[in-house]
């Protein structure tokens, strides 16, 4: 596989150096692998820290800034960051109001964030944790116990980030983050496998003319493998899986997320089909986001995330945000 890299061993460090050059509003510690908004800590504000393996960009480093995360900890490709990174991030953003860890439900992330929370509390930093587990495709997998954390991470980071920027206390920011997760569900589809820099070839075999329904963001297998389907058929399968589990009674936020190698032409077409199926099911749509936000390197495919919202959640979603990967109202 051809890749725009130097050597696999420096891929993450090189990307962080590039992020720093492009976004001087961030403080990027390349050696210790921590990305922090330059104005942190903000007096009286709860700090939001997330992180995970690299390869899902712009998640998480691209969501650091006003209105979202205070800091992010990138691990190696598809590998959890370590507790020392998370402790360093928490210390950098703690203003005395506490820190919320937003953790995707992958075993390494969960264990390391738990350890980091204990270390932070030993240093006098108040820490709360929220686990994101929105994927409806698989209950347990190679990487998780329970449901995987996928696209809803963006909803949690954005809405909880707005709450923190409004000066809400840690307990309230945590409660809102949990509410977002509990009201979100996701389902992903792979049209091709991804290729990690270290392996240099596809991470799993997906024959021509077939797709994988229900994949995770590392390309983990999903519910089933089928012959290639049309965009409309994929939308029907994804919406059915999400809506049957979520059973929304309120309007929903819609995230049509590209997995890294699917062009916007296809994503917007898929979004049209998603809206057709939601309308047929009587599910009202409040807001829509289409693009590559929670990716899997060069995987072709898409994921659908729905989050049913109340008035407060929708207000916080609409609040200004200024990050490399998400920006409006500023």
Residues designated as active site: 56, 218
Dist. CA 274–CA 32, nearest whole Å: 41
Q: In this structure, are strands 34-37 and 71-77 parallel, antiparallel, or unpaired? A: antiparallel
DSSP state of 297: T
Secondary structure of 156-175 as H, E, C letters? HHHHHHHHHHCCCCHHHHHH
146, HSE (Cβ side, Cα atoms, 13 Å) = 11
Dist. CA 316–CA 291, nearest whole Å: 20
Q: For residue 269, with 0-12 CB atoms within 10 Å meaning exposed, 13-18 middle and 19 or more buried, which class applies?
A: middle
**What strand order describes the sheet that includes 71-77?**
26-29, 34-37, 71-77, 47-54, 99-104, 127-132
Give the max Cα distance, the chain.
56
Task: State both tokens at 33.
Answer: 């692998």
* CB-CB neighbours of 18 under 10 Å: 11
Task: State both tokens at 295.
Answer: 């990716």
SS3 98: coil
Q: Which of 90, 60, 239, 235 is nearest to 158 (CA)?
A: 60
């Amino acid at each position: 596989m051809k890749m725009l890299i130097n050597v696999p061993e420096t891929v993450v460090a090189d990307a962080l150096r590039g992020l720093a050059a492009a976004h001087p509003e961030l403080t990027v510690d390349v050696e210790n692998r921590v990305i922090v908004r330059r104005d942190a800590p903000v007096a009286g504000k709860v700090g939001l820290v997330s992180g995970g393996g690299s390869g899902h960009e712009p998640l998480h480093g691209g969501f650091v800034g006003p209105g979202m995360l205070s800091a992010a900890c990138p691990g190696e490709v598809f590998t959890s960051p370590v507790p020392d990174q998370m402790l360093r991030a928490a210390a950098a953003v703690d203003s005395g109001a506490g820190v919320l860890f937003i953790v995707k439900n992958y075993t390494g992330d969960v264990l390391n964030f738990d350890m980091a929370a204990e270390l932070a509390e030993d240093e006098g930093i108040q820490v709360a944790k929220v686990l994101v587990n929105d994927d409806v495709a698989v209950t347990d997998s190679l990487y998780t116990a329970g449901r995987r954390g996928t696209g809803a991470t963006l909803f949690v980071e954005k809405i909880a980030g707005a709450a923190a920027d409004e000066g809400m206390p840690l307990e309230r920011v945590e409660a809102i983050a949990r509410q977002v997760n509990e009201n979100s569900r996701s389902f992903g589809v792979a049209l091709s496998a991804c290729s990690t820099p270290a392996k240099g070839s596809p991470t799993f075999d997906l024959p021509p003319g077939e797709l994988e329904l229900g994949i995770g963001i590392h390309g983990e297998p999903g519910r089933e493998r089928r012959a290639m389907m049309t965009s409309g058929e994929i939308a029907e399968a994804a919406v059915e899986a999400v809506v049957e589990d979520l059973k929304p009674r309120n309007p929903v936020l819609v995230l049509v997320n590209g997995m890294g190698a699917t062009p916007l032409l296809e994503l917007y077409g898929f979004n049209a089909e998603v809206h057709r199926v939601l309308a047929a099911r009587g599910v009202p749509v409040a807001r829509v986001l289409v693009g590559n936000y929670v990716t899997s390197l060069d995987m072709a495919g898409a994921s659908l995330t729905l989050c049913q919202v109340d008035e407060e959640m929708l207000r916080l979603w609409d609040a200004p945000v200024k990050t490399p990967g998400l920006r409006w109202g500023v």
